[in-house]
Amino acid sequence: MGTLGLDLERGLFLGIDFGTTNSVVSIYNFSAGEAQTIPIDGSNIFPTGVQFESDSDTPGKLARVFGTQAKEAAVIYPQSTVLSIKRWLHGTDKVTISVDDSEYTFAPEQIAGEILGYLKQKADEYVQEELNMAGEFTGCVITVPANSTDRQKKMTKQAAVLAGFDESSVFLRLEPAAAAISYAVNESSDKKVLVYDFGGGTFDACVLQIKALETGEPEISILSTYGDNDLGGNDIDKIIMDIIYEEFKNLTGGEIDLFDDTLDDGVSKRQKKVALVRLQQVANQAKERLSQAKSTKVVLAPLIQEPRIVNINMEITRDDFVSHRRVNRLGDKPEIFEKFSGLCLTDIINITLGCIDKCLEAAGLEEGDIDEIFLVGGSSSITLVGEKINEKFKKEPFKSRISPALSISQGAAHYCNMIMMPTIRGPVVQERTVHPLGLEIAGRRFMQIVREGRDIPKDGLTVEAEELLTTNFDNVTSMAIVVYENMLPGKSEGPQPVSAEGMKRLAGTSLRGIPQGPRGREKVKVIFHVSQDNMLKVTAKSMSESGVVTELSVDELYE
């Protein structure tokens, strides 16, 4: 690539696909005019994990091991290793690890920040030493699932700041849109495209409109999205884990429960944790092999050594993988196990096809309207996925030289190009509101404030509710402000109930301090502001002379 000869207008930006299982980073190569994936520790695909250990030089201080080394260390030190941190970026739960019998507690965004910081450090070293580029990455574009919540986005941004990126230079973009960019850069005709994004922790379906412009650069618009934040490749791994665990139960007579570390069954807590990490890793490897081969060998010799040695040595065929129905909880939360209990791989893929149906419905399209299907994410390479897509749309998924595992990161790098050099032409990505946004009003009805398909300017979209809210009772001093998103816009006229299918409660707060008065006298103005990151801020203001104001980002939930 040589020395960078361009004066970057916004500094150096890194495109990051921060995945549940694996992460990928890319940069825009100005000399070649294309995105380039940066190898981290010698590989384009970096396991999203960190393992903590005592610092031999500084007593009481923790050292870190990242990526492949952390994934391998999890087999021996599961209690001090954190994998799949992305699934923690949604709530207030803390992450607790144990090192040398001492416990340490971290916020999820701290752990994510540690991993992102390592990616930044290694990317800085690579471009300086291998590409002869001066400086370091001050900004980044991180991709997030299309169905991610405002809280998930905010925690991801916080993690990037903790990693050392400038707060004003952290941008979030939707994974399907980024993937579409990497596929559509050289597109020369108008197309409607379905992005089937089956990652490690989430599934997203997204319909995009790609328009070929006279300038030669395509314009990409999101028409609709629909997904499942509790469905991903990890859940498919558990089908194979279930097959192996059934064999383990047969060998032990069901007397040992690896998932219950309080049970006195002769196996220590540490032995159980080690066995489970090995079980998870072997299941993931078997899944990947079964995407290419019709059968695979699974060997865990031994899986446990106490109270006696138990070896696993079995053959799993692709037919076993497709037809086996889950019967074991495998450490899932009760509500998650209820969702997947009794399901086989075919059932899970059918759930993703159901998401596609709702995505098409929201876009007002039918299967025959889709010109191309892009497969994204590691689990999209499962043979049955391609077969089911072909059966549904009567066409093969798009074949590209770009790996599905790298496409999102490379699309993020194209976003980086637009930010670093805004005067240089590139793919035009028209950010738009994906679903209607509004409030719950009297009678538990949904009042739409922001409709779907609105263009979002660079400074964000601000929409004021057409109607003022009024107090429903005499002498009230507060009003609930509850925000909803309509994932499935209906064709019916008038407000829909918030209990209708597709209605998703995002957040709520209370406007307090409203002057007392008769019902209907006090009026409240509500304003929605949507940023290009599709993050929402809601302002509610009493219109009385002594009016009070409340403002919330929709991660500030109340129950």
Rg (CA), the chain: 25
In a domain, 493, yes or no: yes
What is the mean pLDDT of the segment spanning 285-300?
92
Tell me how far the alpha carbon of residue 543 is from its chain's centroid.
Answer: 39
| 349 pLDDT more than 90 | yes
In a domain, 197, yes or no: no
Question: What does the pLDDT read at residue 52?
Answer: 96
| 374 pLDDT more than 80 | yes
| 134 pLDDT more than 50 | yes
Q: How confident is the model at residue 558 (pLDDT cuts 50, 70, 90)?
A: very low
Q: How confident is the model at residue 87 (pLDDT cuts 50, 70, 90)?
A: confident
How long a stretch of residues is the chain? 559
What is the rounded CA–CA span in Å between residue 482 and residue 209?
32
In a domain, 162, yes or no: no
Q: How confident is the model at residue 452 (pLDDT cuts 50, 70, 90)?
A: confident
% of the chain at pLDDT higher than 70: 92
Q: pLDDT of 172-214, one tens digit each? A: 998 888 888 887 776 778 899 999 999 888 898 989 898 877 7
What is the mean pLDDT of the segment spanning 435-446?
90
Instruction: Read off the amino acid at residue 305.
Output: Q
What is the rounded CA–CA span in Å between residue 311 and residue 316?
16
| 557 pLDDT more than 50 | no
Higher pLDDT, 477 or 98: 98
The answer to whether 9 touches 30, Cβ cutoff 8 Å, is: no
| 401 pLDDT more than 50 | yes
**3-state SS string for 308-373:** CCEEEEEEEEHHHHHHCCCCCCCCCCHHHHHHHCCCCHHHHHHHHHHHHHHHHHHHCCCHHHCCEE
Lowest mean per-residue pLDDT among 48-57, 99-108, 162-171, 508-517 = 508-517
Instruction: Read off the amino acid at residue 133.
Output: M
The answer to whether 233 touches 288, Cβ cutoff 8 Å, is: no
Question: What does the pLDDT read at residue 425?
Answer: 63
In a domain, 473, yes or no: yes
Q: What is the mean pLDDT of the chain?
A: 88
Angstrom CA distances, 211 to 64, 222, 366, 413, 421, stand at 46, 12, 19, 20, 22
| 438 pLDDT more than 50 | yes
User: For residue 466, what are the domain limits?
Assistant: 437-553
Question: What does the pLDDT read at residue 488?
Answer: 75
Q: pLDDT of 31-48, one tens digit each? A: 777 899 999 999 999 999
In a domain, 487, yes or no: yes
Q: pLDDT of 255-284, one tens digit each? A: 999 999 889 999 998 899 999 999 999 999
- Residue 437: beta bridge partners? 450, 485
Which helix (H) or strand (E) element contains residue 111? helix 108-129
Residue with token string 């159980």: 272
| 242 pLDDT more than 70 | yes
Question: What does the pLDDT read at residue 426?
Answer: 64
What is the mean pLDDT of the segment spanning 414-436?
77
What is the mean pLDDT of the segment spanning 109-124?
97
Give CB contacts under 8 A, 24+ apart, made by 56-64.
62/99, 62/104, 64/114, 64/118
Q: How confident is the model at residue 5 (pLDDT cuts 50, 70, 90)?
A: very low
Question: What does the pLDDT read at residue 559?
Answer: 31
Neighbour count for residue 33 (Cβ, 10 Å): 11
In a domain, 192, yes or no: no
In a domain, 529, yes or no: yes
**Would you call 229 helix, strand, or coil by DSSP?**
coil
| 490 pLDDT more than 50 | yes
The closest alpha carbon to 17, from 112, 109, 141, belongs to 141
Question: What does the pLDDT read at residue 126?
Answer: 94
What is the mean pLDDT of the segment spanning 142-155?
85
Q: pLDDT of 157-176, one tens digit each? A: 999 999 999 999 999 998 88
Tell me, what CATH number does 542's domain have?
Answer: 2.60.34.10
Domain total in the chain: 1
What is the mean pLDDT of the segment spanning 404-412?
91
Instruction: Please tell me which of 10-14, 349-353, 449-453 the model is most confident about, judged by mean pLDDT.
Output: 349-353
Q: Give the DSSP letter string of 157-207.
A: HHHHHHTT--GGGEEEEEHHHHHHHHHHTT--S-EEEEEEEE-SS-EEEEE
Question: What does the pLDDT read at residue 403?
Answer: 82
Longest dimension (CA), the chain: 78
What is the rounded CA–CA span in Å between residue 341 and residue 328?
8
Question: What does the pLDDT read at residue 493?
Answer: 57
Question: What does the pLDDT read at residue 545?
Answer: 66
Cis peptide before 334 (omega within 30 of 0): no
In a domain, 458, yes or no: yes
| 405 pLDDT more than 90 | no
**Strand pairing report for 461-464 and 523-530:** antiparallel
